[in-house]
Amino acid sequence: MNKPYVIGVAGGSGSGKTFFLKSFLAHFTPDEVCLVSQDDYYIPVAHTMTKEENKLYNFDLPSTIDADLFESDISKLMRWETVYQKEYTFNNPNIVPKILEIKPAPIIIVEGLFILHFKKVAADLDMTIFIDADEEVALQRRLKRDLAERGYSNEDAYYKWVNHVVPAYKEYLLPHREKCDKVVINNGAVADDIIKVTDQISAELREKVFGK
């Protein structure tokens, strides 16, 4: 079989990667594309920390990711092997993680904060897409998500933003932005804008990979 076509989708917290990926994946069948998320490769620490320690722990560093396993699983998918990986539950001890079955496909999407920082992962990417948003827009999205989905207080979420998220973005993501094949600015609240972008990229990709 031909080597799968590997796409990297990077972007800071609150940039809108999740909605972009949801819109993008809607253009393909499960047999045509698979998704590998860096979030599922966080080194588990929740069971060892108090609530206060969790607040102070910096999840926005490359060292929090099991980079070797992340790279290994991408390599397996590129060899058309199925990958099994434990779902990351964002350090919520009340959630029982699922075992994810990721089947290989002609298009592999790799997404996450540090995919361009990890040299082995970056070397596997045939196309790179950077999702970007103004800092204030991204902050409001992050605060809304952390309050609704992850149980953080507004104070805790803002602490992480100022002390962890922004410094990590500037050190580990921003230097790679201009080297990406496509930069998608996602400041709007209108879904149609991102859907239109994914229409264009998916059509280009379908022609490149499937010849149609």
For β-strands 83-86 and 99-102, DSSP reports them as antiparallel
What pLDDT is recorded for position 142?
A: 82
> Residue 110, Cβ neighbours under 10 Å: how many?
26
Element (H, E) at 37: strand 33-37
How sure is the predictor about 154, in pLDDT bands with cuts at 50, 70 and 90?
A: confident
The answer to whether residue 165 sits within a structural domain is yes
The answer to whether residue 194 sits within a structural domain is yes
Who has greater pLDDT, 38 or 87?
38
- Among the listed ranges 82-86, 115-119, 153-157, which one has the minimum average pLDDT value? 153-157
Nearest CA to 106 out of 181, 31, 19 is that of: 31
The answer to whether residue 211 sits within a structural domain is no
Distances (CA, A) of 33 to 21, 104, 108, 111, 203: 11, 8, 6, 13, 14
The answer to whether residue 212 sits within a structural domain is no
The answer to whether residue 37 sits within a structural domain is yes
How buried is 70 (Cβ within 10 angstroms: 0-12 exposed, 13-18 middle, 19+ buried)? buried
What pLDDT is recorded for position 46?
A: 65
- Among the listed ranges 48-57, 124-133, 147-156, which one has the minimum average pLDDT value? 147-156
- Among the listed ranges 11-20, 41-50, 70-79, 164-173, which one has the minimum average pLDDT value? 41-50
pLDDT per position as a tens digit, 16-41: 898 999 999 999 999 999 999 999 99
Element (H, E) at 3: none
- Reduce the DSSP state of residue 132 to 3 states and report it: strand
The answer to whether residue 74 sits within a structural domain is yes
How sure is the predictor about 84, in pLDDT bands with cuts at 50, 70 and 90?
A: very high
**Quick one: three-class SS letters along 81-114?**
CCEEEECCCCCCCCCCCCEEEECCCCEEEEECCC
The answer to whether residue 36 sits within a structural domain is yes
- pTM, whole model, 2 decimals? 0.89
The answer to whether residue 159 sits within a structural domain is yes
CB 105 within 8 A of CB 4: yes
Count of domains forming the chain: 1
At a CB cut-off of 8 Å and minimum separation 6, what does 167 contact? 60
What CATH number is associated with residue 43? 3.40.50.300
Q: Which domain holds residue 27?
A: 5-205
